[in-house]
Amino acid sequence: MSSRDHWKSKLGFILAAVGSAVGLGNIWKFPYVVGKNGGSAFIFIYLACVILVGIPILVVEIYIGKKSQLNPVGAFRFFQKGKLPFSLIGYAGVLCGIIILSYYSVITGWICHYLMLSFRGFSGTETEISEIFTDLNATPWLNIAWHTFVMVTVVAIIAKGVRNGIERVSKILMPLLGILLLMLVCYAVTLSGMKDAWHFLTYPDFSKVTPGSFLEALGTSFFTLSLGMGAMITYGSYLKGNVNITKSAVQIASVDTLIAFLSGLVIFPIVFSNGLEPSAGPGLIFKTLPVLFSKMPGGHIVSVAFFALVLFAAITSAISLIEVAVSFVVDEYKVSRMKALVIMGTVIWLLGILSAVSSWNVAGTSFLDLFDKIASCYMLPLGGLCTALVFGWAISNEQKKSEIGSSAFSTALLFAAKYISPVLLLLVFLKEIGLF
């Protein structure tokens, strides 16, 4: 594997990993899932999931990738012990990435559409603004066109490679996203709904928490941290030399969680100031933010910048999703990166059309919701569980410690990865399939 492309710098790796982690999951999904599950009580559960499961599994994934220097399928084969087919975990990961990107690209397409509308500026009543979203959903050709645009863009960036494509793009876009988000927070705190929003986000009301909330918290934390399907294994495989994996994982998870929380802090004041429903569901950011933009001075410019940056956050995440499949094809079948990209890009594009046509459904559930459910509720936790088991039980302690270190914190993380994370993931999974 001497020809393997590697990150140029540690910071480049962190920013690329943050680029993968920070995406629609933080800005689009997190706020509406919080809204649906009653606010702050859910955030507590979410934080517990990040600490007890997210960070340990992040360490594990980066470790597996760095050590093996391979795509997820090859990486699990690398740690093969006994007769169990470890590589199946890698195959499931590749498939999961394909499924997620197929609908992720459609949602990124919505962002593109809103970006275009922002150039003209949003105006009209709240009802009129929320109708934009309904209309978009009802227009399949427009969704397919944007989905195509997104896939072509992602393929074009990734064609340039790890260092010149992924790393370079992340290094510019991530800091910009942070700055803009902070500016929006500063604006949102001046709104009349800020008090209600703060209350909603920080005073727990556990009566709103259902058993399903735990599942959703774990699934969402996995989703926003890009875990459970080998994305971080793939990014870890482009690392070499001396890197503090534990520290990197904590940094990545902290930035990711902070950005999710800040997105909530931008969105909920607007929701409460305008008497909108916090549990509006997937349309939340598309219906609420444009209302803010239509009212605020200079809103026009801010909305262009905001949707552009959400778009970039989504693109850096989409890149990591397709990179898993591409690195798999390149490593395993020894084809060129370009060929692998065209094949995988086409497969994902075709699958995405199912989600782009919102009227197509399975027993009343749209493909987008169905794929999201399959991937984030079943495949990611199951993938995480298998990854933790392989790490905990098939890799020797000496081997782990040489890479992860033996400080008290590292030891605690190794303990969590071996005992706590798998048990929680298993419980959540069994609950999801209705076993108790």
**For residue 365, what is the DSSP state?**
E
- Give the interface segment with ligand TRP, choosing from 16-24, 115-123, 274-282, 406-414 (CB under 6 A): 16-24
Give the footprint of ligand TRP on residues 36-75 (CB under 6 A): none
- Dihedral-angle region of residue 285 (phi above 0 means left; psi in -120 to 50 means alpha; beta otherwise): alpha
Closest-by-Cβ residue to ligand TRP is 25
Q: How many residues bind ligand TRP (CB under 6 A)?
A: 16
Residue 10, Cβ density class (10 Å: 0-12 exposed, 13-18 middle, ≥19 buried): middle
**Nearer Cβ to ligand TRP (58/191):** 58
Q: Which of 14, 17, 24, 94 binds ligand TRP (CB under 6 A)?
A: 24
Nearer to ligand TRP (CB atom), residue 237 or residue 320: 320
Q: How far is the CB of 227 from ligand TRP (least distance, A)?
A: 6
User: Residues near 207 by Cβ (< 8 Å), separated by ≥ 6?
Assistant: 38
| 25 scored as a contact of ligand TRP (CB under 6 A) | yes
**How far, in Å, are 102, 195, 392, 409 from residue 246 at the CA level?**
31, 37, 16, 8
Q: State the CB neighbour count (10 A cutoff) for residue 430.
A: 11
CA distances from 116 to 107, 134, 305, 355 (A): 14, 17, 11, 21
Contact region for ligand TRP (CB under 6 A) — 15-23, 39-47, 69-77, 359-367?
Answer: 15-23
Whether residue 224 contacts residue 25, with contact meaning beta carbons closer than 8 Å, is answered with yes
* Selected binder of ligand TRP within 17, 20, 99, 107 (CB under 6 A): 20
Tell me, what amino acid is at 368?
L
Contact between 92 and ligand TRP by CB under 6 A: the answer reads no
| Residue carrying structure tokens 């594990």 | 60
For the four alpha carbons of 241, 242, 243 and 245, in that order, the dihedral sign comes to: positive
Give the tokens for residue 252: 């990545």
Q: Residue 294 in contact with residue 121, Cβ under 8 Å? A: yes
Q: Nearer to ligand TRP by C-beta: 288 or 317?
A: 317
Based on the shown chain and the rule CB under 6 A, indicate whether residue 218 belongs to the binding site for ligand TRP: no
The stretch among 45-53, 193-201, 204-212, 314-322 that binds ligand TRP (CB under 6 A) is 314-322
Residue 229 sits in the site that holds ligand TRP (CB under 6 A): yes
101, 124, 207, 241 from 237: Cα distances, Å: 21, 50, 44, 11
- Of these, 108, 130, 317, 366, which contacts ligand TRP (CB under 6 A)? 317
User: CB of 186: closest distance to ligand TRP in angstroms?
Assistant: 23
Q: Which residues contact 272 (CB under 8 A, 6 or more apart)?
A: 192, 193, 194, 196, 197, 200, 278
Alpha carbons 91 and 98: distance in angstroms, whole number: 11
Instruction: Considering only residues 344 through 403, tell me which ones interact with ligand TRP, judged by CB under 6 A.
Output: 380
> Given the rule CB under 6 A, which of 111-119, 167-175, 176-184, 226-234 is the region that contacts ligand TRP?
226-234
The least distance separating ligand TRP from the CB of residue 261, rounded to whole angstroms, comes to 13
224 makes contact with ligand TRP (CB under 6 A): yes
The only residue of 100, 151, 215, 285 in contact with ligand TRP, by rule CB under 6 A: 100
Count the residues in the chain.
Answer: 436
Q: Which of residues 151-210 bind ligand TRP (CB under 6 A)?
A: none
Name the segment binding ligand TRP (CB under 6 A); options: 82-90, 220-228, 301-309, 359-367: 220-228
Given candidates 7, 14, 16, 23, which one binds ligand TRP under the rule CB under 6 A? 23
321 binds ligand TRP, rule: CB under 6 A: yes
Instruction: Give the shortest CB-231-to-ligand TRP separation in angstroms.
Output: 4
Q: Which of 146, 223, 349, 367 binds ligand TRP (CB under 6 A)?
A: 223
Q: Which of 290, 289, 299, 281 lies closest to 263, judged by CA? A: 289
> Considering only 17-25, 128-136, 181-189, 191-199, which stretch makes contact with ligand TRP by CB under 6 A?
17-25
226 lies in the site for ligand TRP, by CB under 6 A: yes
Q: Which two tokens stand for residue 78?
A: 């690398």
* Nearest C-alpha neighbor of 319 from the set 151, 174, 171, 173: 151
Q: Which residues bind ligand TRP (CB under 6 A)?
A: 20-21, 23-26, 100, 223-224, 226, 229, 231, 317, 320-321, 380
